[in-house]
Structure 1
């Protein structure tokens, strides 16, 4: 297991354009926030850009525009709605927690319809839960700046994308039949079975244990429990990387670096993400988590206790998330 945690894969090529796109997507909103002293707006826009961090490669210029106007714009709308809903539900007590779990349950089932829907609903779930931690921010203001970050990332995707062969796509009728057939089997409900109970437990603990960063318990759950890559190894990699990332992120915000250092750090971390995601998932999570920490705490200086609570919350969330994976693994082995 430990060997796999540090394994460096070279199976998938990563082109420099991907690194440049990822870095610029984060650097520009944060630079705007630093120069205008609108750090909250910058953090919302940067989170929107983060939500649109991965782009495919359409084969022609015309198809590129069609693709961005359709699939990617739709994806951006889905994650923006998720951010809006999360910002609105956050801080609303048990009703808000129930709303989050209900939306996640629907998304977990609907996401099995197609690959695009799986991608969209996974991002929806992640940024829904993440946005519940934005505190007293106006939900519509969050959505507006989040959408600007989404648009900026789409523009970058257009500028830096390159060509590759187009795969054949199934029709909507074929997708519907396949999805309906999957829902007649346990595997069609597997993601929901893994995610929803674990998230519900996380939300209950977050409501009963009143502290500022309680939403990190639920966030750790949605980071660890994924629709694809649901093996125990991948879950362990995500847990280890997320916990390490919380420590790194905590050290960065306690250091209170100058504003331009924050811009540089965010740019480097964001630029490394496409490479590390393909090479080593634990390293990817280690970079992704401090990036989220910096964006969520931009303009604020939490104390040692806040950083400590976040780490404890993350460990709790990871332990909750691992349980369904272990139980289902034993079920298949048995």
Structure 2
């Protein structure tokens, strides 16, 4: 059994190249909606659009598809992901604040997505984003789901339009037929590995949702959000889970400090663009650093135009610690099962 050491948590990987256009487009994808919101004083709309851009601005970057798909197939792939995450945002906005009914709805949709995500790599990425933004959107308060969906889709479209010129136009490689994919997916469901992600996610998410309903406070959705951030289909090792957990907790502190500071509007635009621009780089270099940047970005967008009290920020940190703790337990149990 490999011992988890501190040096593993701060390891800086250089295996995957990250190109400057990726950083620039990621920054612009997020900064433009926020700048629009600041200029027009429509901060809620800007928040929804920026979250849509966040959901799709880095899809397909790095080693996942580079150089293997045509420009048209890439556009279709990203549009499909955009439709998936927009649906997730609308569903989350509708389920948020509905108590046990909402919690059951989130859990059911997440469970179905977790199972379906084993079909192929695209589906795995799309359903992971679906689950994340489904839970995230439950924290949008009393927002109209249709309004959330409309602005979310605009943010998605903006991110796709911005990133497509930098996509590869090389000819696509041969891909397995759908019949072969279905056969492989169905075969995996007859083995434990086909259910590993479901087993790690669903019980932890169920516990998080139950605590969130019983502990009725404004940021309780962060318990479930921390769970879906830490538990991942790929990169499900204890190292990755620990990196995501520590980075998420640190990011909540940073995000809370930024909000309490109440910076001028133009500073918010700059901060969002810098954090968003760092995401593609840190995702490939160190997951703890990535989570440490990603989390305050989410905090800023979710609280855009609002100044929470110190107690609210404290609750968010407590919720995040609870969620991260819950999320790591299935990884530890499965790791011990594997070793045993």
Give the secondary-structure state (helix, strand or coil) at the position aligned to 1:3: helix
CA distances 1:238-265 after superposition (whole Å, capped 9, x unpaired)? 0000000000000000000000000000
Distance 2:159 2:31 in 1: 11
In structure 2, distance between residues paired with 1:302 and 1:164: 48
- The equivalent of 1:54 in structure 2 is 58
Q: Distance in 2 between matches of 1:207 and 1:60?
A: 45
Out of 68, 74, 77, the position equivalent to 1:67 is 74
1:299 aligns with 2:305: yes
User: Is the Cα–Cα contact under 8 Å of residues 17 and 161 in structure 1 kept in the other structure?
Assistant: no
* 1:32 paired to 2:36: yes
Correspondence for 1:14: 18
Runs of 4+ in 1 over 6 A off after TM superposition: none
Mapping 1:224-263, distance limit 5 Å = 224-263=230-269
Equivalent in the alignment of 2:292: 286
Give 1:168's match in structure 2, choosing from 169, 174, 181: 174
Equivalenced residues, count: 332
Correspondence for 2:278 among 253, 261, 272? 272
Q: Secondary structure of 2:11's partner?
A: coil
Matched, 1:43 2:47: yes
Q: TM-score scaled by structure 2?
A: 0.95
- Per the TM alignment, residue 169 of structure 1 is displaced from its structure 2 partner at its CA by 1.3
How far apart are the structure 2 equivalents of 1:115 and 1:288?
23
CA contact (8 A) 2:71 2:168 kept: no
Instruction: Pick one of 114, 120, 123 that aligns with 2:126.
Output: 120
CA distance in 2, matches of 1:60, 1:191: 27
Q: CA deviation at 1:65?
A: 2.9
- Residue in 2 aligned with 1:324? 330
Which of 2, 5, 16 is the equivalent residue of 2:9? Answer: 5
RMSD over aligned Cα, in angstroms?
1.3
- Pair 1:216-2:222 in alignment: yes
TM-score when normalising by structure 1? 0.97
Q: Deviations over 1:267-314 (max 9, x none)?
A: 000000000000100000000000000000000000100000000000
**Alignment gaps of 5+ in structure 2:** none
Structure 1: give runs of 5+ residues left out of the alignment: none
Please report how far the alpha carbon of residue 53 of structure 1 lies from its aligned counterpart in structure 2 after TM superposition.
2.2
